Chain A
Amino acid sequence: MAAPPDDVLWARGLHYAYDGSPALQGVSFGIREGEVVAVSGPRGSGKTTLLRCLSGQTLPEAGEVWFNSSPVHTLGRAARERLRLHRFGWIDSSPHLVAELTAWENAALPLLLHGIGYRAARKQACAWLDRLDVGDCARKRPGALRQAERQRVAVARALVHSPAVLFADEPTAPLHRTDRAQVLRTLSAAARSHGITVVLATHDLTLTPTARTADETGAVLADRIFTLADGRRSRTPPAEDLPAPARPEGAAPCSLSV
């Protein structure tokens, strides 16, 4: 069957299990072009597995994944790799930078893997690092950067090739609150101004009261919240239940020129 035409990424009835322990049990998901969707849920609820299935890193045991009206779940390994390289971006909960490359080389890695020339890649990567306020770190190695700066370099690496869909798997997990807010705002602002669709896995929105503040989890930055629990979709918490977002004290100022 064909995918609904207005969804850029669409999945139906996803099932996945790690060595017998179920991670996804019949999850259906759809996201329109340019939309920012927060996938929330506690640890072990299947957020990462959902993102991995959607981005074609793992094949679901049952169910379908469609990207731009073409099936992902039937593609071969090489085709899925090509899809990830050219159309998708991925941010992990830890930066995962290559320790021996400089910040700009790390950010330019997708472009270099595309086969774009050294100078063009450097120009583009440095431009993205500037936009994310880490332009002065471009020539440093990851070892000399703070964790928040490293995570921004990882964000730049995910955005540098202007992907169609950006997957962010708890991108703020290792950061302090002020840095979390900053990274999330830069991420969502960059995505909106470039029309990039974002699937953002965040911590549980309902369990911890502090996590409800918008800046920290990105829930308010998202157009829609998709809640997972135990590998199934659970009822989305109504937006009016969420308290008004309070800016955490000492929030670092952030200049955005995205």
Chain B
Amino acid sequence: MLTLRLTLRASPLALLLRLLLVFASAGVGLLLLNALSHAVQHPSHPAAALPGLLWCLVPLAVTARLAAALVAAEPSASLRSGLDAAGLGPVRLPLLVARTSALPCAVGGGLALLVTVWGQGGAEDGAPVVSLTGTTAELPLAHEALPLPAALTLLSAVPVVAALAAARAAGTETASGGTAPCARASHGRRSTGTATVVAGLVLIAAGLLSAAYAVRAVRHAPETARTGSPGAAELASSPLAAGWLLTALGLVLAGPALTSLAGRLLTAGRPGAVRLLAGKALTRESALAGRPLAALGVVGAAALVAVRARLAETELPAWGPAGTLAAVLVACCLGGVALAAMAGARRSRAPLALLLERLGASRGTQRAVAAVRVAVVATVFTTLTLVAGLLTPLPSH
């Protein structure tokens, strides 16, 4: 009951994120069932279904990240201290948090299962199909008997992974909660350290290089030779896609460090109050918001790549409904994560705003600080998006 009450009385942002979590887990559930459907349809090639299943890991990971981001937004600090006083301390809170995030995921999984059962029988029986931008797609497992144990096993992965991620986030949050600014600063240094930057840059370079190398391999693949463009399944299991994924991972890893570097550059020389405050705030918040913003940048870069492919008339293979669903899901979840990170950063700025008001800094100064910070962040991540989007090799002629 406590879980339900905490869920219903949450802030609008937390409710929005929870709703997103329900739909994300439903989407991941459908993708997992789609992979299962593929395996059931081709029982003689079990290995062929593996890449599809592995690609489901990306939306699954993003959903788990969304569950972890939800923990940062909810329970709020005041509620947390109240729960602590009532005996729900750092040990039992992760359990509660795990329950509260497993619940929407289980609901989403149930939705996915319901939809699948509803779609059994396929299009020719007059059973419902899903219409997506002009193309109709059958639901997974439309023609086969539903292998219920396998489906339930696959669907239970989402709540379990989300609950684990949320519990872990709650654990680190409470561990660094008490002495917030200093503890979080040292925690943040880890994600903006030199090792992470180097790892991120190496991953980006490796990803771009392997993608550039793999472009030729894809070009000479049998289906490319036949139809002029690589098939979706072939592309998904090619080193080219792996290279794209590696580049994205590197960008996300390098995001906090880039933000922190921008903050440090901003305070270089002899800064005035606005530059000093904006730069230092950027350096501090890079640990909080760097990765989610970099992930949004990756989404932008992916969109840019799609636009480039269309302009260059190198037909990217039709993604199919599953690919579209996955792309939309990942983009929405990353948007939610970025929203939660912004809210967290805003909360962490509240003491500074209070102090500036005490000191009598004018509203204009505070607005200028915010504007400079937003401008720098926008510049950094737009550049990142453009560079990544323009450098990514396409499977073109």
Contact = CB atoms under 8 A, between A and B. Distances in A.
B284 to A, nearest CB: 5
B270 A99 contact: no
Nearest to A112: B273
Interface in A149-189: 157
Interface stretch (B88-96, B160-168, B356-364): B356-364
Contact of A110 (B280, B284, B359): B359
A57 interface: yes
A92 B358 contact: yes
A78 B185 contact: no
A245 to B, nearest CB: 31
Contact of A109 (B270, B273, B357): B273
Interface in A204-258: none
B161 to A, nearest CB: 34
A143 B273 CA distance: 21
Contacts of A99: 181-182, 185, 284
B390 interface: no
Given A96-B351, A98-B355, A100-B185, A112 B360 contact: no
A88 B359 CA distance: 8
B281 interface: yes
B178 interface: no
Given A98-B352, A99-B182, A118-B271, A85 B276 contact: no
Nearest to A97: B355
Interface string A48-90: 0000000001000000000000000000011011111110101
B284 A84 contact: no
A113 B361 contact: yes
Nearest to B272: A112
B283 interface: yes
Contacts of A96: 351, 354-355, 358
Nearest to B355: A96
B365 interface: yes
Contacts of A20: none
A146 interface: no
A101 B277 CA distance: 8
B270 A117 contact: yes
Interface residues of B, number: 26
A117 to B, nearest CB: 7
Contact of B362 (A78, A90, A118): A78
A85 B283 contact: no
A143 B280 CA distance: 15
A101 B355 contact: no
Contacts, number: 69
B359 A113 contact: yes
A113 B273 CA distance: 5
Nearest to A96: B355
Contacts of B360: 80-86, 88, 113
B185 to A, nearest CB: 7
Interface string B267-300: 0001111001100110110000000000000000
B129 to A, nearest CB: 56
Interface string B317-356: 0000000000000000000000000000000000110111
B265 to A, nearest CB: 15
A115 interface: yes
Contacts of A80: 360
Contact of B280 (A78, A82, A98): A98
A115 B274 CA distance: 10
A81 B363 contact: yes
Given A96-B351, A96-B358, A100-B284, A118 B363 contact: no
Contacts of B271: 118
B271 to A, nearest CB: 7
Contacts of B352: 98
A82 B276 contact: no
A56 to B, nearest CB: 8
B359 A105 contact: no
Contacts of A92: 358
Nearest to A99: B181
User: Which of A57, A86, A112 has the largest count of B CB atoms less than 10 A from its CB?
Assistant: A112
A109 B359 contact: yes
A71 B285 CA distance: 41
Interface in B350-392: 351-352, 354-363, 365
A119 B181 contact: no
A143 B182 contact: yes
A143 B180 CA distance: 11
Given A96-B351, A99-B185, A99-B284, A112 B276 contact: yes
Contacts of B362: 78, 81-82, 85
A161 to B, nearest CB: 10
Contacts of A105: 276
B270 A119 contact: yes
Contacts of A82: 360, 362
Contact of B358 (A57, A77, A78, A118): A57
A96 B350 CA distance: 12
A101 B283 CA distance: 11
A109 B276 CA distance: 10
B181 to A, nearest CB: 4
Closest 8 pairs (CB-CB, A-B) = A84-B360, A85-B360, A118-B270, A143-B182, A112-B273, A99-B181, A100-B280, A81-B360
Interface of B: 181-182, 185, 270-273, 276-277, 280-281, 283-284, 351-352, 354-363, 365
Given A112-B272, A112-B276, 11 more contacts: A78-B362, A81-B362, A82-B360, A96-B355, A100-B185, A113-B356, A113-B359, A113-B365, A119-B270, A143-B181, A157-B359
29 contacts: A57-B358, A81-B357, A81-B363, A82-B362, A84-B358, A84-B359, A85-B359, A85-B360, A86-B360, A90-B359, A96-B351, A96-B354, A96-B355, A98-B280, A98-B352, A98-B355, A99-B185, A99-B284, A100-B283, A101-B276, A109-B273, A109-B359, A110-B359, A113-B360, A113-B361, A113-B365, A119-B270, A143-B181, A157-B359
